[in-house]
Amino acid sequence: MYNNMMLVNCSNCRTPLQLPQGAESIRCALCQAVTLVADPRALHSAPSSHAPTPPAPSPYNHAPPGPPPNAHGRKKAVICGISYKYSRHELKGCINDAKCMKYLLMNKFKFPEDSIVMLTEEETHPAKIPNKYNIRMALHWLVQGCQPGDSLLFHYSGHGSRQRDYHGDEVDGFDETLCPLDFETQGMILDDEINAAIVKPIPHGVKLHAIIDSCHSGTVLDLPFLCRMDRSGKYVWEDHRPRSGKWKGTSGGEVISISGCDDDQTSADTSALSKITSTGAMTFCFIQAIEQGHAATYGSILTSMRNTIRSTGSGGGGPGSAVSSLLGGGSGAVTSLVGMLLTGGSVGSGGLRQEPQLTACEPFDVYAKPFAL
């Protein structure tokens, strides 16, 4: 049936849109602009010499690479790690984060390798370089065709930022953003777009987790509720629904995001935790909590992550008290293969000042709800 669908770029924001056969116009779900197509058959004609060259077809439009997963109860993931190598924005630990997350998903949570899309600068396929277009297409692939029972995951390790909100739907007046590899020329990916791409489409019975290791990432999925937890573990759910009444939740499914820090904080790219190589502090603590058995509930995993970050610089972290299994030993769920991936690096200094955050489409009891991917 996919032969009857074509891609056209939104006339306003240039987002690729699927044009059904015979349609003469299509409305963009992101910016609401209507793109007119006088004759869809003209898409097959030779482009005008004045027309911009369309982007190369993406493998994420309709199907994942490799054989399709099972029809029901599928597990799919998009993992994005960006190092910004050879630029003034270079990060040391993000590709390590991506590799470790993939290994954890495959070995601990039984995600099929064919259902994990990796976006890093080390990938050889041009459609898997983590630029803005490829990240958009990968997110589209992640949620496309999801069915009840599916478990989806988006992991991002890279730069994040924020910019002033001009639509009046942010409590703090700022949109949070992710920074693709080409953000300096193509722009950042706003939380509004992320919400429209992977939150709103989630139907009843489908579960999506986002693990976001970047600066200013607290509400980067624009989910309606944030778990505000103090140091004693007491919490309240903050209402982040826009004053305009615009719905930022799902289409009946469940979305939960664990992020590296609050919206006004930064996330560390550091060797202070592993003592072996650079990693994102949040990704490291997330995997450590799981490997050390502190991930029974969402409350316990969030508490474990925060405690590890707070202890850094005062005797915490390091082999034996960090992700020993991840870095070559321990429980065996994650073996020395990842230890071989992570080589080099320097011992960093402590003093991390970030607090991982939990946001969700609906409030729940964080100490009663079991954590499961």
pLDDT tens by residue, 60-76 = 444 444 444 454 479 99
The string of DSSP codes covering 310-364 is: HHTTTT--STTTS-TTTTT-TTSSS-HHHHHHS----PPP-------EEEESS--
pLDDT tens by residue, 22-38 = 777 777 777 677 777 75
CA atoms of 78 and 92, how far apart (whole Å): 20
Report the C-alpha dihedral over residues 21, 27, 30, 32, rounded to 10 degrees: 180
Select from 83, 78, 130, 127 the least CA-distant residue to 105.
78
Task: Quickly count: other Cβ atoms within 10 Å of residue 288's Cβ.
Answer: 24
Q: What angle do CA 226, 229, 233 make, to 5 degrees?
A: 145
Whole-angstrom CA distances from 82 to 180, 231, 275, 347, 350 are 7, 31, 21, 21, 23
pLDDT at 17: 76
Task: Assign 328 a pLDDT band (cuts: 50, 70, 90).
Answer: very low
Name the range with the highest mean pLDDT among 164-173, 205-214, 308-317, 330-339.
205-214
pLDDT at 298: 97
Q: Catalytic residue positions?
A: 159, 215
CA atoms of 241 and 169, how far apart (whole Å): 8
Q: What angle do CA 311, 327, 233 make, to 5 degrees?
A: 30
Q: In 3-state terms, what secondary structure has residue 256?
A: strand
pLDDT at 172: 64
Q: In 3-state terms, what secondary structure has residue 144?
A: coil
Task: Kindly state the average pLDDT of the residues 140-161.
Answer: 94
Tokens encoding 29: 């779900």
pLDDT tens by residue, 1-11 = 444 557 778 77
Select from 129, 99, 92 the least CA-distant residue to 116.
99
Whole-angstrom CA distances from 312 to 268, 305, 321, 351 are 12, 11, 11, 6
Query: What DSSP state is assigned to residue 48?
Result: P
Task: Quickly count: other Cβ atoms within 10 Å of residue 290's Cβ.
Answer: 23
Largest CA distance in the chain: 67
pLDDT at 67: 46
Task: Assign 77 a pLDDT band (cuts: 50, 70, 90).
Answer: very high
CA atoms of 201 and 18, how far apart (whole Å): 15
Q: Is the pLDDT of residue 349 over 60?
A: no
CA atoms within 13 A on the CB side of 315: 0
pLDDT at 234: 95
CA atoms of 273 and 278, how far apart (whole Å): 8
Task: Kindly state the average pLDDT of the residues 264-271.
Answer: 53
Question: Per-domain residue ranges for the chain?
Answer: 2-43, 75-360
Q: Is the pLDDT of residue 330 over 60?
A: no
pLDDT at 367: 97
Least confident residue range of 102-111, 113-122, 182-191, 347-356: 347-356
Which residues, 6 or more positions from 339, have their beta carbon under 8 angstroms from its beta carbon?
326, 327, 328, 329
pLDDT tens by residue, 89-146 = 888 889 999 999 999 999 999 999 999 999 999 999 999 999 999 999 999 999 999 9
Task: Assign 243 a pLDDT band (cuts: 50, 70, 90).
Answer: confident
CA atoms of 100 and 110, how far apart (whole Å): 14
Decide which of 365 and 354 is more confident. 365
In SS3 terms, 94-133 reads as: HHHHHHHHHHHHHHHCCCCHHHEEEEECCCCCHHHCCCHH
Q: Is the pLDDT of residue 345 over 50?
A: no
Sheet of 189-190, strand order: 160-164, 174-178, 189-190
Task: Kindly state the average pLDDT of the residues 291-313.
Answer: 90
Q: Which helix (H) or strand (E) holds 210?
A: strand 207-213
Q: Is the pLDDT of residue 87 over 70?
A: yes
Q: Is the pLDDT of residue 242 over 90?
A: no
pLDDT tens by residue, 205-216 = 999 999 999 877
Span 75-360 CATH architecture: 3-Layer(aba) Sandwich (3.40)
pLDDT at 14: 74
Q: Is the pLDDT of residue 178 over 60?
A: yes
Select from 219, 223, 231, 227 the least CA-distant residue to 263.
219
pLDDT at 126: 93
Q: Is the pLDDT of residue 291 over 60?
A: yes
The answer to whether the CB of 220 falls within 8 A of the CB of 194 is: yes
Task: Kindly state the average pLDDT of the residues 281-287.
Answer: 89
Q: Is the pLDDT of residue 344 over 80?
A: no
